Chains A and B, each alone.
Chain A
Amino acid sequence: MSDTTTAPDSVFDEVVDLIGALVGDDLALLGVEVRRDTAFHEDLGLESVDLVTLGGLLADRYGPRVNLAEHLAEFELDDVIGLTVGRIADYVAAALGER
């Protein structure tokens, strides 16, 4: 499901905002432009424990329909390490039933 849904720009932008909140003003310093292929760990320097916070932020913003924990249960470890912003946005869009 999520693999075939590409998040619309509106959802993508919101997810970028949430990730901005997670990374803080370091994002501007790092000079990283958050794109679909921006990697959670490699580019943003975030760790697995930070996914916990991201899950919370997503749930706060979208309610229980968006459950990162459920979603990540399907992932292999390498996929979690290589998680990109685009994939999170795609999942959010799919969970919300938006196209």
Chain B
Amino acid sequence: MPVTEAEREPVAVVGMAVMLPGAPDLDTYWHNLRTGYDAITDVPADRRDPHFHAGVPDPTATPPPDRTYCHRGGFLAPFTIDAAGLGIVPNAVDTVEPDQLLSLRVAAAAVADAGGARALGDRNRVGVILGRGGYIGPRMVGLEHRVRTVRTVLRVLAELSPGLGAAELEVVRAALLEPLGPVRPESMINLVPNLAASRIANRLDLRGPAYTVDAACASSLLAVDQAVGELAANRCDAVLAGGVYHGHDDTFWAVFSQLRALSPSQRIRPLSATADGLLIGEGAGVVVLRRLADAQRDGNRVYAVIRGVGSASDGRTQSLFNPDTAGQRTALLRAWSAAGLDPTAPDAVGMVEAHSTGTPVGDAAELTALAEVFGAPPGACAVIGSVKSMIGHTMPAAGIAGLVKAVLAIHHGVLLPTLHCADPNPLLERTRFHTIDTAKPWEGVEPRRAAVNAFGFGGINAHVVLEQHVPPRRAAPARVAGAVRVDTSEPVLRLAADDPAELTRLLDAVERGERVAPTGGRFRLGLVGPTERRISLARRLLTRAGRPGWSWGTGDVWFTGTPLLREPGAKTAFVYPGLEAGFAPKVDDIAALLGETAPSTDTATVARHVAAVADVGMLLHRALTALGVRPDGVAGHSIGEWTAAVASDTRAGARPVIGLDGFPMPEVDYLALGCSIDDATAGIADEPHVVVSHDNAPRQTVLCGPRAALGRLATRFRAAGVIARPLPFATGFHTPMMRPYLAPYLTAIAEAGTRPGALPVWSATTVDRYPDDPAALLALAEDFLVRPVRFRELVERMYAEGYRVFVHMGAGQLGSFVADTLGDRPHLVINAASATRPGIAQLRRLTTALWVHGAHPDESVVDVSPARSGVPVRVSAPVLTVAESARGLLDRRAVPAAPGGVAAELSALVAETEGAVRAVVAATTAPPAVAAVTGTGTGAAAGAGPDARVGRTRVSVRDMPYLRGHRFFRQRPDWPDESDYRPVVPATTLVEWARQAAEREWPAEVVIAVRDIRFTRWLVAAPAREVEIRLERAVAGGSISVRIGEFATMSVEVAASYPRATGSPLEPGPVVGQVLTPSTIYGGRQMFHGPRFQGLTGIASHDGGLASGRVTVLPAPGAVLDNVGQLLGCWLQTRADRRVLAFPVRVAAITFHGPPPPVGAEVDCVVRPRVPDDTAVEMDAEVRHGDRVWARITGWHDIRLDCDHADHAVYAFPRDNALSRPLADGWWSAQDRWTTVASRDVFAGVYLNAPERAEYAEVPPRERRTWLLGRIAAKDAVRDLLPDRLFPAQIRVTGDGDRLLVRGHHTPSLPRLRVELARGAAAVSARVERTTGDV
């Protein structure tokens, strides 16, 4: 029996996640929506085919299909996938269509936002329905090359040149296929389109229906429609619904270009009178839907409720392309009918998220439909908007982007702006709707109601009615409470000062947006997730901060003026919980972070409950160890003492007695009383079979005995006003009733063995430390089972011993027993886990609380920003190109090598792609293959043509000693192998060579400009090599093309004299902030340069975004301009947290307005830096000598490599820092952190010595990452073990597989060692193998 629309019950939105242009996560999306962030950009270089985007003569005419007139859109920032966490083999990531990984990442985030998989109920009844179009993705493009394009090329070649033999064609075929890499048959499954949904079901283990739907731009809302149907029909209990569009394939753009749907003005202006077309966006969104009643029953957070969904097709209309008002109207009316609401009521709706894509025809149809359905009754006023104005049209994902926006607007009570709509479409006047340009509170009517449109090509229309969830008054916030945010990147604010007033000043500074580094002051404030509410709480706290001894630790804010751990003798205890009711700690994310399987939280039997409590306790123990938090002693509550014994190594074996399935127990129950042990003891005097089993706290005591007796006592205690609750488990532990059953327990413990542990274990049986004597330990194990838990007394005892910080290794009530016992005495109780917030979020609170009280936790472990834990997802399609070895293979004519010819075009094309970045950085080893015409300097020689002059120069550190000042890597002083330093000719030195060569060859003229400078490879000076410099002047008197080997090309302009610098000079405003001195720049190795390039004597930042520096002119060629480049690098380091390492790849122009300043002179430079995106930094600059401009630089472009400040410390000081981080037991883990090969190769240079680099070059490219991580981890593990600090290159690692050999490299003192490796998905760990005798 189908359920009619009207009978559908409301569906709750309980979790959400998105990745959209400008918004990697839900929080950022909300921020962008509220603030009106315009995420539209130019097509990123790596996704831009230069031919397709070369431009068209007339943007108003339809272009040929292989061209587009539009070059802007909404693009996702480069993203990564947590391959380890989601169980994907990292090296498979490159074979999967990116939209599948995007969907998976977003779906996982949505589930986490909903409170985790457990919050969704039975996984057999969780479905996945995604809107996804059948568009081609980059991986399928790769297959297309293999399957069809290569053979097409060969056929055409054979047609063009019938003389080509089969052997030659075979060489071409191989050369075309080589760059595509090996065929991996098993990865073909990763191209199947429905895997966008199925992969989610597979990886998240969801077993309801999982499929994709395609209804063009209405796909997401059709998916929501399907999901609501599944829930209504009771076929699913939860559904992940949403949509994804990712690709921006040229074919897709071509369709929209041919249809002329793209905006010729390159702006998307939905709902505006000036709208002229759309821009394409991309991304994904997923919502988690459940029946409202279920969500309420389970205490899910409800963002909003779906009241009704409607869909309709246009039927037979004039065109499949033009939208139809009637079909849209039908969809709208069906949705409102399903909701049982009247759309014409004046307060029916507060906002509509329109489909509006900014095409005039589409907007007109939609506004007409809205006018017809909602009318414009007097007094009705509502906001209309379209998020497409900010992110572009995300196609099948458009509906979900709009739906999430509307849900957030309802949830937060904020009406949201639309961009570029200063001049609204006049058709709006016939509706009740208007646009707004800034966010404003959504006030007045409750419940807040919104509606969302999505209409697709072909005439498919969908509409959703959403409503605010007003919880019933009795609703009890349960496990997944509304206050809980799932936020993997919650900022933490920590302030320290020597007095409260200073602390207040620091808080003011933070609120003004200034950066404040924590210092060592005694007054400490820590806030996790500095929201407005928490900051105002902090402000109120600080008004009391002067009270002696006053501390605070509630509401995610911690404060003290007397840090506990700074008191002499203050100790930290880890306290492990026993069994308790309501055991549901959230630790799955912690397990994933540590690369472990999440522990079970099954409490169905006592055995499983005991095992779960212990496993969670041990997981937290390992997490805290990784955080550098270590106890001075451990204790446990009831069976938590077993965990404590294992954690402290007092009990051998993995988990003796834990998981004691089948062990016998007496038939008795427990009753928890809200009173002291004295009151409890007095109250049971007449029940001989009942005993006190636990003295938990002044206000809690537990009784044990037969059920009937406990029932009598419960009644009697309650009558006396004492709270009495039966506990939901029964073991009889800690009572004499256990005595007949002891044997199997004691046998198990004896077999496992006990020994004095490294840490004191505190017994709640004896209220004393565990004895050292094994026999006494075994006797205690027996007493533990038959004598009461004296936890309250134990806390008192530990306090007397100096314990002030009690870390509760669980999520339940145990911490409150400690707090109840200690009352107002100074102490800190902090839970290591929470039942409501994700594990990592709770760990962040733990480390913050501990920091406030004087500990020094190592935060990097809970830094789970995707950049650190993820594998990059390559989104660009492969470009069909032949391998280097086959270039020019079929070229039988003798063509002089011509810069600007085919080869240069190819290299320019490649230079815009990822591959080129690799080329820039990869050090080439072979010298350029040119005939042996040698000479020193660039002396003229017979060239290949009348206009060409070719010179050759020998490049080595010996020939050019100044290159010692430009070595990338540090090594031990006196290091014998120059190549390990990687000396590189500075980019500006190449420019200077070109300048000098041109002036030498055409001595009557001076160089006045160098333009279109491209640095295509690093020119490495060790080993020595010869390099050709070729100058070509096509037209007498014209500009000179210069090519320096395969390393740089540029165009040099000469004239009889220098032109004056015209135009207004760069005028820096007042200096802001600190002036950087040479000791910071070079001593702190912000710049790697040696003395011969250390020309900067000061750097200042100025109001208005400029920076300036003073440079002493050094003799090395190109030193001054190199110093200007250094200035830009320093500027970047003070402003960016990631990708702080920058190298020039191109410069648009350098113009010269006078002769080079003499050596020793002081020159000033002013630069205007800018950061176009995460991957680049650019500048214009001016260099003045005295009061004259000497040179101007425009369009200087540096690429930025993956390197945060911590990684930079390794780059700058490799002897004293390590990329890997220590785990337990001597293991060191090197985590994959590089999104580009170029970045990785920098650190390959830091860690590898010459023979290792040679081996690295032989490793197949796909295995290099893991190979390198293994070498890094191995070297760090070895370095940690040795008394002397070593540079990584001093260690020579050899071998394959999981056993490596280590010996010294130019370092005889290093012993020979063996290292074992453990390869994880995104990290490789290593430790020095312990052999007999060295433990």
Q: List residues of chain A with CB under 8 Å of any chain B CB.
A: 3, 26, 28-31, 36-37, 39, 42, 45, 47-53, 55-56, 59, 64, 67-70, 72-73, 77-84, 86-87
Contacts and interface: CB of A to CB of B under 8 A. Distances in A.
Given A49-B697, A77-B581, 6 more contacts: A26-B554, A48-B700, A51-B723, A69-B723, A77-B582, A78-B476
A78 B723 contact: no
A86 B697 CA distance: 28
Contacts of A56: 721
Chain A: interface secondary structure? helix
Contacts of A77: 581-582, 725, 728
Nearest to B717: A69
Nearest to B817: A49
15 contacts: A26-B554, A29-B541, A30-B555, A31-B540, A42-B481, A45-B555, A50-B816, A64-B721, A67-B719, A69-B674, A69-B720, A69-B721, A70-B718, A77-B728, A78-B479
Contacts of A84: 476
B816 A49 contact: yes
A53 B714 CA distance: 18
Contacts of B722: 52, 55, 69
B776 to A, nearest CB: 34
Contacts of A48: 674, 700, 813, 816
B579 interface: no
Nearest to A87: B474
A40 to B, nearest CB: 10
B820 interface: yes
Interface residues of B, number: 42
B816 A55 contact: no
The 7 closest A-B pairs by CB, nearest first: A82-B476, A47-B816, A52-B674, A49-B699, A69-B718, A52-B699, A69-B723
Interface in B471-527: 473-479, 481, 483
A22 B515 CA distance: 39
Q: Most A CB atoms within 10 A — which of B475, B552, B699, B719?
A: B699
A79 B697 contact: no
Nearest to B552: A29
A29 B540 contact: yes
A68 B483 contact: no
Interface string B704-724: 000000000010011111111
Contacts of A64: 721
Contact of B723 (A3, A29, A45, A68): A68
Contacts of A36: 473
B187 interface: no
Nearest to B481: A42
B1135 interface: no
Given A31-B533, A81-B582, A45 B554 contact: yes
B724 A69 contact: yes
A18 to B, nearest CB: 15
Interface in B543-567: 544, 552, 554-555
B476 A79 contact: yes
B537 interface: yes
Interface string B792-824: 000000000000000000000100110110000
Contacts of B720: 69
A31 B537 contact: yes
B540 A82 contact: no
B697 A82 contact: no
Contacts, number: 101
Contacts of B476: 39, 78-79, 81-84
A82 B541 CA distance: 27
Nearest to B696: A49
Contacts of A87: 474
Given A69-B722, A77-B581, A82 B478 contact: yes
A49 B555 contact: no
A80 B478 CA distance: 10
A87 B537 CA distance: 27
Given A29-B541, A69-B717, A82 B477 contact: yes
Nearest to A39: B477
Contacts of A26: 554
A58 to B, nearest CB: 9
Nearest to B675: A52
Contacts of B723: 51-52, 55, 68-69, 72
Contact of A51 (B474, B674, B714): B674
Interface in B143-159: none
Q: Most B CB atoms within 10 A — which of A50, A56, A69?
A: A69
A87 B544 CA distance: 33
Interface of B: 299, 473-479, 481, 483, 533, 536-537, 540-541, 544, 552, 554-555, 581-582, 674-675, 697, 699-700, 714, 717-725, 728, 813, 816-817, 819-820
A53 B555 contact: no
Contacts of B479: 78
A68 B717 CA distance: 12
A47 B831 CA distance: 13
Contact of A42 (B474, B483, B699, B817): B483
A78 B481 CA distance: 12
A78 B555 contact: no
A71 to B, nearest CB: 9
A86 B700 contact: no
A31 B697 CA distance: 29
Nearest to A76: B476
Contact of B721 (A30, A55, A79, A82): A55
A95 to B, nearest CB: 12
Contact of B813 (A37, A47, A69): A47
A73 B720 CA distance: 13
Contacts of A3: 474
Nearest to B541: A29
Contacts of B540: 28-29, 31
Contacts of B714: 73
A29 B477 contact: no
Given A26-B554, A47-B813, A77-B582, A68 B724 contact: no
B1321 to A, nearest CB: 37
Contact of A49 (B477, B552, B820): B820
Q: Most A CB atoms within 10 A — which of B474, B536, B537, B722?
A: B474
A41 to B, nearest CB: 8
B525 to A, nearest CB: 13
A52 B676 CA distance: 10
A59 B718 CA distance: 12
Contacts of A79: 476
Q: Most B CB atoms within 10 A — which of A31, A51, A86, A87?
A: A31
Contacts of B700: 48-49, 52
A56 B698 CA distance: 14
A28 to B, nearest CB: 8
Contacts of B481: 42
A26 B723 CA distance: 25
A49 B674 contact: yes
A73 B718 contact: yes
Nearest to A82: B476
B119 to A, nearest CB: 14
Q: Most B CB atoms within 10 A — which of A37, A56, A64, A81?
A: A81
Contacts of B536: 31
Nearest to A46: B816
Nearest to A6: B473
B710 to A, nearest CB: 13
B721 A29 contact: no
Contacts of A81: 476, 478, 582
Contacts of B552: 29
A87 B476 CA distance: 10
B344 to A, nearest CB: 34
Nearest to B482: A42
B191 to A, nearest CB: 47
Nearest to B544: A29
A51 to B, nearest CB: 6
A34 to B, nearest CB: 15
A39 B476 CA distance: 8
